[in-house]
Amino acid sequence: MDMYQKITKGFLIVFILISGQVNSEGLFEDASKRGINETCALYLSQIEETFDLNGLNVTFAHPENPSLFPSLHISSQKYNNGTSTFSATLSPDKDYCYLSTMHITSVNNQSCSEISQIKIEADPDLNVENYAEGSYSIITPSDSSYQIILTSFGEKGCTINETRMMWPGR
């Protein structure tokens, strides 16, 4: 591990210990206890159920006014063939809540081209663009509601990064 990685890792650990709360509760329960905006907490509950998030959770919220400021919620899970990290930033605006999510999954037993093919078979309207001789693929649905970036590692490894932004009610 080079010096930059050590410093970055150390900074991240200190930041988590000072600013966040790590627990095994669900993201919704933790967010509610921390006092984030009620609408945002409701959205977080729906997201947690949709993505079946039940790993190690970290929540960052403003220490004095958590219902007024954006909050960050992270859930990390380990599987027998890889790992998954989900992140949601919730930004309250009175009775509304804006969301940005990122779901990153790394698998070590399936290539990106196999994953891309499965996704296209499930939804033929997806647009797939390949870069760097297939090392990267960007998958976008026709409504552009999200994007998936596939990054190859090794012959049978792929990192899947799904990102979306939502502005419910506006």
pLDDT, tens digit (0-9, with 9 covering 90-100), for 28-77:
888 888 899 999 999 988 888 888 888 888 889 999 999 999 999 999 99
Average pLDDT of span 133-160: 92
Give this prediction's pTM.
Answer: 0.78
Q: Which pLDDT band holds residue 14 (cuts at 50, 70, 90)?
A: very low
pLDDT at residue 22, rounded to an integer? 47
pLDDT at residue 73, rounded to an integer? 92
Give the residue among 149, 161, 150, 157 at the shortest CA–CA distance from 109.
157
Q: Which pLDDT band holds residue 12 (cuts at 50, 70, 90)?
A: very low
- Residue 90: pLDDT above 70? yes
Give the residue among 115, 110, 156, 154 at the shortest CA–CA distance from 138.
115
pLDDT at residue 170, rounded to an integer? 61
Distance CA(120)–CA(139), nearest Å, equals 9
Under 8 Å between Cβ of 35 and 66: yes
